[in-house]
Amino acid sequence: MKQSKHAAENITRKNWHLYEIELKDLIRKAEAKKVTLNLSGKKSKSYDEYVKGLKFLINDLYKFHKIDHVKAGGIIIESKKNTPFYSSFLAYKLMHNDICETEAFLKYHYDKYSFATKMEFINFLKYQVKDMIAGVTVFDNKELLDRIMKWAVAKEEILTKAPKPKFLDLQFVLNPDNTYSSSFIKKLSANLKAGEYIERKTYFFDVFKESKRIVWKGSLPHLVYLLQVLSSNEKNYITTSKGKFRIWAATLKYFEIYESSEKYISNKVLADLSHNIRGRYKKKHSQMRSEVDAMLVSVENKLKI
């Protein structure tokens, strides 16, 4: 049976991070837990059925990815590349980790989650994963469920903090004075998806057309320089409802910086970075600027601007 490219890459992987979901390690932990629980009789048989269910799920994954189960080695389950199996294996992994590692494990996957927004991960955890764990009755998961929900609620409170009143009506907008604004940003958005800066090809365009908050998966300097150029007098493709001087406040409102989910980013941080990219640290950022400039030129050439 032919292996998928992704599966083949994972099979050659010898080491993995403590909090990654590696299938052979997961089976080993599931089988070992029966010994520590000291089960007997009906409870022992129920646990055997539980482990059998895990193995059936793994076989389903092998079939889905066309993996030869005989040759399969260390398959790593990742949020982006192994859907629709990610939620199930995340639940299994949580149940077989040491309970004291729960919060660190959740933070690791929260940082790596790459579908859309961080809030999507929180909802996915609170409903899908929590319900799967609650449905397992062969051992007690009460403390684990309590830790998961407390962590999720705390993260949710941080993510849903209301913006300051002065920013409530602040929006990124396409510059009405530039007739190419809409077509340029729409095409650029597709290119940003191709370069893996955003998750879907319309997301960047949606920021300006629908006032949608999105995850920026590229580096912070890439985003700052891109917005800096797009709003410059030379390009003049975008602005904000409060004028160009509010561009960094709008950036904080509409872009979740994927690589900096746990760092404090302010207007001043963005403004200072913008200044450094073109000033004091211009040489350091030369490659990044070349990448962004090349992308913009490519779009302009295709649109014959």
The predicted-structure confidence for 227-262, as pLDDT tens digits, reads as follows: 999 999 999 999 999 988 899 999 988 998 766 544
Is residue 100 located within the same domain as residue 208? Answer: no
* Among candidate residues 104, 133, 159, the one where a domain is terminated: 159
Is residue 133 located within the same domain as residue 203? Answer: no
* Among candidate residues 125, 159, 193, the one where a domain is terminated: 159
Q: What pLDDT sits at residue 17?
A: 75
Paired tokens of 249: 């406040």
- The torsion defined by the Cα of 201, 207, 212 and 215, in degrees rounded to 10, comes to 60
Ranges under pLDDT 50 in the chain: 1-13, 165, 261-262
Q: What pLDDT sits at residue 289?
A: 93
Q: How far, in Å, CA of 248 to CA of 228, rounded?
A: 9
Q: Which domain holds residue 244?
A: 165-303
Is residue 137 located within the same domain as residue 252? Answer: no
Is residue 80 located within the same domain as residue 199? Answer: no
Is residue 242 located within the same domain as residue 220? Answer: yes
Q: What pLDDT sits at residue 257?
A: 78
Is residue 148 located within the same domain as residue 211? Answer: no
* Among candidate residues 127, 159, 191, the one where a domain is terminated: 159
Is residue 152 located within the same domain as residue 170? Answer: no
Q: How many domains does the chain have?
A: 2
Upstream peptide bond of 84 is cis (omega within 30 degrees of 0) = yes
Q: What pLDDT sits at residue 204?
A: 96
